[in-house]
Structure 1
Amino acid sequence: MTEQQALSEIKKLTEQINYHNELYYQKDQPEISDFEFDQLLEQLIALENKFPQFKFEDSPSQRVGGTITKNFETVVHKYPMLSLGNTYSKEELIDWDNRVKKGLGTNEYAYFCELKFDGVALSLTYEKGILKRAVTRGDGTQGDDITANAKTIRSIPLRIGTQTPDSFEVRGEVYFPKEQFARINAERIDAGEEPLANPRNAASGTLKMQDSSVVAYRKLDCYLYSLLGESVEVNTHSESIALLEKWGFNVSQTYKRCQSIEEVLDYIAYWEIKRHELPSETDGVVIKVDSLHHQNELGFTAKSPRWAIAYKYKAESASTVLESISYQVGRTGAVTPVANLKPVLLAGTTVKRASLHNANEIERLDLRLGDTVFVEKGGEIIPKITGVDPLVRPVNSQPVSYISHCPECQTELIRKEGEANHYCPNAEGCPPQILGRIEHFIQRKAMDIDSLGSETLRGLLDKGLIHDYAGLYQLTFDDLNGLEFRIFSEKKGEYSARSLREKSASNIIKAIEESKKVPFERVLFALGIRYVGQTVAEKLARHFKTIDNLMNASLEELVAVPEIGERIAESVTDFFSHEKNQKLIADLQQAGLHFQIEETEEVSESQKLTDLSFVISGVFHQFSRDELKEKIKRNGGKVVSSISAKLDYLVAGENMGPAKLEKATQLGIKIISEDEFIQLINS
C-alpha cells in the first residue's frame, strides 16, 4: 500500500468510526454491533502503526488509550472554575431569587435550569476545532492536565466538524454511568478486590490513572454544560447550549428555560423522582440567570457567582432497626458483614439489608444489635448504614464483636497487615470458597459453561463428583444424567428435590467441551487468582504469551508489566507457588484448555476480491458471519460496516435489516446472496 492509499484509507476509516461513534453515544441509534465497531478501530490502529506519520491527534484511535502519564502537569485556568453557592431549602431559593430581582432592578429575566450531575468538573479547550487540552477543576484556579485520559471518553468530540471559533472552552461533568459502575464492581468482586465506594469518587480516581487504556476500559461519560470564549457570539446561556448541541457535544436533554421562580420549583419537584431513571447519579439542580448581560451585571462574590445557585436534593435516607449481622464468605475467602434490617421503604423499594463493608466500619459506627440506624442510598451496590441514633439505643446493649472464626468451616480468620478485610485461610475445605471458585470459573466472561447452576454444582460437590473446577472436565454424561440436587424456595422457605434430565445433562457436557476453545486470557481470568480481573488477565496473557512463562516469572518481571503493581504481582507468584495450583494447571492442560496466546497468521487464498468492498448482513447457512468476513479477507477483499456509494457488494442473508437493504437499493449497490458470493470466489 502506498502512502497516498494509506492516508485515503485512514481518512475513510476515521469518518466511518466518528459516524458510528456519534450514532452510539449521542443518538443512541447504533447501526453496527460492538464487534464490527471494534474491527473498524483495529483496522485504523494497524494502518496508523504502519504509517505513523498519519496518526493525527484527533484520530479515533486515541480513544482506546495506552498513553502512560507518570505526572500530570498543572495548568492555570484561563477562566477560573468557581464553585456554586448551594441550598437545600426552597425558601432560601426564593430569597436568592429576590436578591437577583433586586440586583437587576427588574422582573424581566429568565432562568436556565439543568440537573447537577454527581461527577467531576472538567474544562476542555479546542483550537481550530481540535481538542487540545482537558484539565480538572483542581482548586478552581488551576487543575491537572488529563488530556490523554479525557480522549478515551467517547462522547467528548476530538474534532468539531462544523465552523467554530478559533479557540473556545467547554466545561462539563465527567461521570461514571450506573451500568458501567455496576460492571466494574462486579469484576472487582470477581477478582477478590474491594468494590469501588461510589460513582463520583470512582470517576475522580479513574481520571487520574496513569494508564489511559484502563480509563478507556471503564467507559466514563461526560455531559457538557458551559461554553466560554472571547470569540463566542451569544447573548444567553441557552444560546450557548444550542451551539454546543449544534457542534455535536453531549448535552443532557434534561434542561429547561424557566420564566419565573415558580417554574424553577416545578422543575425541581419533577426531577426529584424522575432523575432516578437517568444513566447517571444526580444530586441536585443548577439554576442560572439566562442572560449573559444580566450575569455580568450581577457579578461575583469572592467564592461564587451571584447569578447561579445549586439546589441540592436531600439524601434519600430512612431509619430502621438493626436486627442482626450475617457474614458472607466469598471465593477468595474474604468475609463480608451484612446488616439485616427491619424492612423499611427507601426510594421506592423495600430495604432489608445494608452493606457494612468490614470490621473498621462496624467499629466506626459503634454498632449494637437493636440500634436504630440511618440507611441511605447513594450510588452504592446496596444501601449503606450512615449512622446510629444513640438516643433510642437499647439499655445494656454491647458493641458488636466481629467474628473470629469462619461462619462456614469454623477456621480461625486472619487479617493481613494494612488490609481492612478478614479472610478464611481454609481455601481447600471451606464450602463457599470452593463453590465460589467454580462459579467464577464457569461464568460467561470466563469459560462460559452455561446450563451449570449453583444448585447443580452443589449436587456435584456433595456427591464427590468434583472437588475443584478441573474436575468438570472429567465429568461424563452418566455422572450428570439423573443427578439429584436441592433448590431453595424463598416463597415456601424450604428446599425441594430436583434431578437433571437427559437433555440438560447432554447440554452441560456439550458446553464443557465447547469451553475448551476459550482463549488463554479468559482461561487465566477463570483461574480466580486474587486481584486478577479481566483487564489484568489480558495484560498478563499478552505480555507473557504462555502459562509457563507466567508461572516462572519473578516478582520483578511481573511488576515491570504496565499497571501490574506489587500487590497483584505477589498474588500471582503466591498462586503459582502452591503445588495444588500447579496440579490444577496441569489437569486443565491435560483436558485441552488453551494456555498460550494464539498468534494466527492470515492465510491468503487468492486475490479475486482485491479492491472490492463488502458489507455483510443477516444470517447465513454455510458460513458464520465471522467466517464470511475471514473468507473475504483471505481472497483480497475488504469488509466494511456501513453502506455508502463506494461499496461494491452487499452480501444479504436471511433476516437482514430492512434499513441496509433499502439504502443499498437506493444507491444501486449490487446485492448478492450467500450462493452468489461462493460463485464469485470460485469463478
Structure 2
Amino acid sequence: MSDTTATADLTEDEARVELARLAKDLLRANQLYHAEDAPEISDADYDALKRRNAEIEARFPDLKRTDSPTEQVGARVSEGFSKVNHAIRMMSLGNAFDDEDVADFDRSIRKYLGLPNDAPLAYTAEPKIDGLSLSLRYEHGELIQAATRGDGETGENVTTNARTVSDIPHRVEGAPEVLEVRGEVYMSHHDFEALNTRQAETGGKTFSNPRNAAAGSLRQLDSEITRSRPLKFFAYAWGELSEPLAETQMGAIDRLKAFGFQVNALTRLCDTTDQMLDHYGQIEAQRATLGYDIDGVVYKVNDLGLQSRLGFRSTTPRWAIAHKFPAELAWTRLEAIDIQVGRTGALSPVARLHPVTVGGVVVSNATLHNEDYIAGRDAKGGTIRDGKDIRVGDWVQVYRAGDVIPKISDVDLSKRPDDAQPYAFPTNCPECTSDAIREEGDAVRRCTGGLICPAQAVEKLKHFVSRKAFDIDGLGAKQIEMFYDDPILPINTPADIFTLQDRDAGNLARLKNRDGWGETSASNLFAAIDDKRTIPFARLLFALGIRHVGEVGARDLALFYRNWDLMAASIDTAHPAARAQRAADEAEDAERIVASDEGRRARVKEVRDATISGGNVPEDAANAWADLIGIDGIGATLGLSLSDAFANQAEREAFDDLRTHLTIVPPDAPASDSPVAGKTVVFTGTLEKMTRAEAKARAEALGAKVSGSVSQKTDLLVAGPGAGSKAKKAADLGIETLDEDGWLQLIGDL
C-alpha cells in the first residue's frame, strides 16, 4: 500500500508512507550502485527518486526518517575498503525545480538573516557535475588521504586510486596546514565512449553512463585499473581547514585554482536572482556541448560569514541549493483511478496509466493529488489546466520532476471519449466503508474509521516500527503486514508487539515453525523487542503516529512536559478548552489564524479569555490548553490533533496499554553550566541583532525551553522594541525581563 500525493497538497500521512517506500527503493539503489557497482536503474531514475525524497522532506521536515536517503547521502562503506570518518560531514543539497523555487530560496535566506528585499546579497552559480563526490585531505601540503562520500559521515579510503587521477595534485604549495578539498570525480563523454568500446572489445563490463563509469573506476580494489581509466576532477568545496581560504565562496574557489585544482570555468558571481536564472539558462543552453554530464546549477551564498550564520539543517546547508533541469514529458491514456488510504485516513487518488516511457523509465502510475486537482482546481479554488478536469479514458500528459510516481500536467480534450464521465470522488472509505469526510480548510478527504480501518491500523503499525520510531530489528513493514492478518499471533496494536513472546507460550512454538522463521530468528526478534522496552520520550511520541506530530513537534512536547503521565494529564485537563477552540474555529473560519506566530499567540489569549469569562470551560482547562498551544512550534493545529487522539477511546486505550510495557526516558537534562538551562524563555518585540529563528536555536542549544506565550511557568522574557502585552503581563507576574543586549550578555554572546 502506498500514498502518492504531490508535495504541493501532500498530507502528512501520505508523505510518511511515500518516504518509507522511497527509503527502501533508494537504499537498494545506493547499495547496488555504491557498494556493488551494478546499478539496476538509470542515473536519471536515481536522481528522480532522490529529488522526490528531498522535495517531500523539504515540505515535511518533521517526517524525515533515520534511514532517509538524504541522511545516508550515499551508501554504507564497502567491505573492500577501509573506512574514513569525515571530520566535517559531507552534506547533500536541497533542490529547486523552477524559477519560483529559486526566488523562495532567496526569500528564505533573507528572512533567516533578517535582510530586507533590497539589501545586497550575492550568490555564486556553478554547474552541478554528475559524478562521484570525493574529499581530499592535505596536511603540510601533502595529499595524505582521499575518501568517497559514503553515507556522509563515513566514506571509503580510496587514497591510492585518487593518486592516479591526473587532475588531483599530490602536493599543494602555499596551502593551510590542514586542507580538505572536496569536489567531483567524473568522466568526459569522449573518454566514456572510448572506455566502453575498449571494454566491449576485451569482453569486459560496459557502463550505462559516465557517472557509473567514474564511480566504478575510482572504487577498484586494483589501483592499476583506476590508473587505466580516464578520470577527471573538479574542485568546488572544502571540508576541514586549519585557516580560512577566503572571506567569500568565489574567493575560496579562486584560491583552490591557485593551488592547482581544476575548477569549473562556468562558475559566476551573481548579484540578483535574475542574474542567477540568466546564468542557469546560459549553462542549460551549453549542456549538450560541454563534453561532460551536468544535471543542474548550484547556487551558494557568496559571503562565507553569512554561510556560517545560516548553518545547516539536519542534512543540507541553508545557504545552497541545486536548481535542477526540467523534467521530460510524455502522453498516454488514463485507464483507471484508484483510491489508497493512508495512516491518518487520507484518501489519495492514483492514476493507473497505459505504460509509457518518460525520461528513459517506463511508468504506469501517477499521482492525482486530491479531489480538487482531479476537478481542475487548486488548493485555493482557482483553476488549473485551464479548468480541465481529469476523467478515466482521457489522454493525459505525464512528467517526472523528481517523482517515483509521476504527475499529470495536462489533458487533451480533443481525444476525450464521448462516454467519459466526471470522476465522482468517494465519500466512503474503500477499505472499511466508514464515512470519508473533508473538514473545512483541508484539501484531503479522510476516513473516520480510525483503528477499525485496516488500512490505517496497518500503516500506523508500520510507522510505529520505522527507523525513526521504535526501529525494532527484524520487525519492519513486511513483518507487520504478516502479523496483522495472522489468526494465531496477531499484532493489531503497538502493545501486541510487546506481548508477542508471551502469546507464543514463551517457547517459540508458534513463531519458529512459520515460513521464513526458525528458532534463531524468533529468538532474535524477541530480544530486539525487549531491547526497545526502554524508549526516549520524544521517540515514543513520534512513534504513535498522531497526525501533525512529527519529530520536531515530538521533541518540543517532550522537552516541555518531560514526563508521559504529566503530559497525558495536562492534555486531558485541556480537552474542554480544545473542544471550545475547535467550535470557535468552525464557527468563525474566516478569523482562524494559524500561519502567523504572533497571530497564533494572540489567538491563544483570545480563546483563553473567552472561555474563562464566558464560563464555557473551567479555568484549569483554559490554562492547560494555553500552555499546550503556547509551546513554541506547537500551535492550535497540532494541539487539536493531540487532544483528539487522547480523547479517542480506541486510541487512548492503545496508548495506555502500550504505556504499561515501556520505560519512558525523559529528555537529557539541560547543561548545568548554562545560566538558562531548564528555564522557559519567551521572546517578544523586534530583535535587532539576530532573527527570531537564531534566538530560538541558540536558547534551545543552551538547554532552555522556548515558549510563545507568557504564563506563570515563564522564567525569563526577552523584550525588544515594540514589546506589548507580553511585557505588561510579565511585569504583572513579576517575571524577569531583559532587553536583547541583556540576553546576549547573560548567555555570553556579547
Q: TM-score, normalised by structure 1?
A: 0.45
Q: TM-score, normalised by structure 2?
A: 0.42
